[in-house]
Amino acid sequence: MSMSKTLKRKITKTTLIYVACAGLTLFLIVVSIGAGYKKASLGQVITGLFSGGDYVVETLVRVNLPRTLVALFSGAVLAVAGVLFQSVTRNRLADPSIVGVSSSTYTAGLFVSLLFPALVPFSPILAGVFGMAVFLMIFRLSYSHGVKSNRILAIGAAVNAVFMMIIITIAVMQNLSATNVLLSLSGSLAVPKPEIVYSTIALSAVGLIAALFCAGKCNVLALGDKTAQGLGVNVLRMKLILAGISVFLTAVAAVNVGITAFLGLLAPLIAKKLLGDNHYNVIPLSALLGGLFLLSADCLGRAMNTPVTLPVGIITTVIGGIVFIILLARSYKNAD
């Protein structure tokens, strides 16, 4: 009796949180369409969207909707990439942006856009392949009788530093202005071309669905490598698949919005606080929260009246960085 009651309460809580997130997302989409260079009030956007014929709103939709969609999907994708990466390393503080996956995929994206501009719509895939190669190298170096998650983080940090230097070197050789480099490095949404919008949405959807199919396996992996193996999971193969999806998702976001650090940490963390550690909830909820975060960061950046729109990356990095430091400090305290 009491069990079914708690179960019922859990279901209502779950529904409530999903509905709230979805509602907040819709609200933010409207805000995001209205935010920016030309401003429209919320009411104007809503009536404009439903009744049509409002020239300002139509322009705003044309300009801002692609950016909004790319932000939503990139955020979702980065958050889920974080979830999967944490499953692989069994470490809540692991994120593809920390171990050089983001910077390596971004480097690859940069190479594609400079050397083979025609291939730009495929750059998430090319960058994903490159990012996977880099990650496999990190994985191999961290492997001795099982994956050592601390080693992944340490080696990854070194790899990350190398790629950051490569990116800066490319920028210097290309005579890009310092502002441009900084802006793109820290993740900017600018105004994406339609083919970029379509490819981002399509690739994100593929990656997110793949991730959802792995939710059960993530749950079993949480019981430990040996126990998971005993339950019939091929642990090494599963970890490679999860890492592969994670890298691919990171690549999708990195080529569009640059390096957006810490989103993969924050969203899963809050998702787990809200609905627990079951990955059937963690993955979809993180996706929603990730989209929400990136979109609100972007709105915030556009709303601030700075000469250049503040890139999303700067905002997510500042907030995410602070939270990351607090978490690290707390986890060391717990370990003592």
Contacting residues toward other proteins, per CB under 8 A: 3, 90, 145, 213, 216, 219-224, 226-227, 229-234, 272, 276-278
Nearer Cβ to other proteins (55/332): 332
Min. distance of Cβ 225 from other proteins in angstroms? 9
| 93/176 with CB nearer other proteins | 93
Contacts of 5 (CB under 8 A, 6+ apart): none
Cβ atoms of 204 and 73 within 8 Å: the answer is yes
**Complex with other proteins: residue 45 or 94, whichever CB lies closer:** 94
Q: Cβ 158 to other proteins, closest distance in Å?
A: 25
Instruction: Evaluate the CA torsion angle 120, 125, 127, 133 in order and state its sign.
Output: negative
| Integer angstrom CA distances of residue 174 from 114, 142, 170, 180 | 9, 35, 6, 11
C-beta of 43 vs 216, nearer to other proteins:
216
Nearest approach, Cβ of 62 to other proteins (angstroms)?
Answer: 41
Q: Is 147 left (phi over 0), alpha (psi -120 to 50) or beta?
A: beta
Angle between helix axes 2-34 and 263-275 (nearest 10 degrees) is: 140
State which residue, 44 or 278, has the beta carbon closest to other proteins. 278
**Residue in the structure block whose two tokens are 């983001």:** 102
Q: Nearer Cβ to other proteins, position 69 or 220?
A: 220
Task: Say which residue the tokens 């989209």 belong to.
Answer: 291
Phi, psi of 220, rounded to the nearest 5 degrees: -70, -40
Least distance (Å) between residue 220 CB and other proteins = 6
Minimum CB separation of residue 283 from other proteins in Å reads: 14
Provide the minimum distance between the beta carbon of 202 and other proteins in the complex, in angstroms, as a whole number: 24
Closest CA to 294 of 320, 324, 321: 320
